[in-house]
Amino acid sequence: MDLLSYKTLRKQGYGGFLLESAPERILQFGEGNFLRAFVDHFIDVLNEQAGWNGKVVAVQPIASPIHEKFAAQDCLYTVLLRGIENGEEVEKKRVISCISRCISAVDEFDAVLGCAHNPDLSYIVSNTTEAGIVFQDCDKPGSPETAAFPGKLTLFLYERFKAFPDKGFVILPCELNEENGKKLFMCIKNYMELWDLPADFAAWVKEKNTFCSTLVDRIVPGYPPDAAALNEKNGYEDDLLVSAEPFGFWVVEGPSCLSDELPFAKSGLPVLVTGDYTPYMQRKVRILNGAHTSTVCAALLCGFDTVGEMMSDTLLRGFLEREIFDEIIPTLDLPKKELDDFAMSVIERFQNPFIRHELMTITLNITSKWRARVLPSVLEYLSRNGALPARLTFSFAAYAEFQRCGRYDCKDDKEVLDFFASHREDDAETLMRVLCGEVLFWGQNLSDVPGFLAAVTADLKEIQTRGMRAAIEARFL
């Protein structure tokens, strides 16, 4: 079978959209599965639907042979979207042709810098994982191949400043950090100071470049386990094949003119440009992430292994749905229809039969996740209603029993693991009293939250006496 290429597709008589030649308008730090199935997928649709006519230069930030795979396939690859939409299984295939080349920041940094001299280049996108937006004071400007991503970007911006002192970039980091645009700008500011770069360059970075904070949302499993069968069906070998869920949403906090410069929404793409992305970040964290975090311990203690198994169980699915619609959504301020529609999409995403999401992976650092994703909903619900949200509160007791019971290989901060190891034999009242008082874990003493200690203690007693499933049935049916 032939490798995917323009020649192969021509030989097949491929009738889908392809853009073989166009100006390079985007520099993309990162070439991984997420960017290819999310940003590049959107750019490819933008080229087709809006005639945007732009190519992406993908920069490989670390040593890897993947740029060779791009070259071998004319930088073409297939995105396969599989999942549930409106209650129906869907499968959509698209050959992506928006990447012009992939270059290595380790071996070809001169070629990366050369892109700064292209006047058509106007946008920079990145996804180098959350750890990628970091400042390292050991980085040297003469060794860009070892510098963190913001250090590489600082050198690239300096090259641009020297080439076009009146032309900066719109910068769209897609790392999962909150306020990722502001964090990236601060890292670059630190590098400019560390390397003693000129003051007029620092002014140019601030005045001629737009750093947008963004929120990205799409589950991308990556190279599918059934790739061989899919390649056979497609009629070509694709070493860059990537699978993802159909749902996608990109919120960009930036000036309204971006909606015209990058007309995603006009092309039917789920991209929102707004002056404040905070409500959308809050919606995602509390509904999507919060629902995962607040049900995972109960589901594991009921004997389930995956999110799909949990969602196939009437009791657990009902618990999750009532939690979202009755306890989380009432704490949020976006229009109710928007919240309800997002919640329904989350429930469909959790049922995706093409994604095996292990529950144990969700429990990684579960303590800090419960604090960030669930506790704010508990406190806001109490503030607005004068009562605790029963299911979210119960999830704290489920979390405590999960950590205490010793049946699972918990991956959490050392302080958390040490705490539960030393309190494994405590009765429910003692455990909850000391756990709620751990200000280091929760940022406050949860015993001070009206009714919380009594409620979670009673819930833990029920769980330990009846077992998790029977406790949920007794409490919520």
**The pLDDT of residue 387 is above 80:** yes
pTM of the model: 0.93
Predicted confidence band of residue 142 (pLDDT cuts 50, 70, 90): confident
Q: Evaluate whether 436 touches 447 at the Cβ level (below 8 Å).
A: yes
Say yes or no: 39 and 159 in one domain: yes
Q: What is the CATH number of the domain that holds 383?
A: 1.10.1040.10
| Confidence at 66, pLDDT banded by 50, 70, 90 | confident
pLDDT tens-digit map of 267-314: 999 999 999 999 999 999 999 999 999 999 999 999 999 999 999 999
Helix (H, G, I), strand (E, B) or coil at 88: strand
> In terms of domains, do 297 and 214 share one?
no
Going by C-alpha positions, the residue among 442, 429, 431 that lies closest to residue 403 is 431
Is position 98 within any domain? yes
Structurally, how many domains does the chain consist of?
2
Domain boundary among 242, 275, 308: 275
Contact 326, 388 (CB under 8 A): no
Buried b (16+ CB within 10 A) or exposed e, 37-64: bbbbbbbbbbbbeeebebbbbbbbbeee
Asked if residue 130 has pLDDT above 80, the reply is: no
**pLDDT value for 147:** 87
264 and 406, same domain (yes or no): no
Both tokens assigned to 440: 């280091």
| Residue 308 is assigned to a structural domain of this protein | yes
* Pair 245, 303 in one domain: no
Report which of 5, 97, 78 is spatially closest to residue 37, judged by C-alpha positions.
78
> Using CA atoms, how far apart are residues 69 and 73, in angstroms rounded to an integer?
6
Q: Which structural domain range is residue 181 located in? A: 6-275
CA distance 344 to 355: 18
**Do 11 and 51 have their domain in common?**
yes
Closest of 295, 324, 325, 323 to residue 310, by C-alpha: 295
Is 1 a member of any domain?
Answer: no
Residue 131's pLDDT is 67
Asked, for residue 249, whether it belongs to a domain, the answer is yes
According to the model, what pLDDT value does residue 152 have?
95
Q: Which long-range contacts (CB under 8 A, 24 or more apart) does 148-155 make?
A: 148/187, 149/29, 149/61, 150/184, 150/187, 150/188, 150/191, 151/191, 152/29, 152/61, 152/105, 152/109, 152/112, 153/29, 153/124, 153/126, 153/184, 153/188, 154/188, 154/191, 154/192, 154/195, 154/197, 155/113
Query: Average pLDDT in the 173-186 region?
Result: 94
Assess whether 318 and 369 both reside in one domain. Answer: yes
- Give domain status of residue 260, yes or no: yes
221 lies in the same domain as 245: yes
Residue linked to tokens 């594991």 = 300
Question: pLDDT tens digits, residue range 194-227?
Answer: 999 999 999 999 999 999 999 999 999 999 999 9
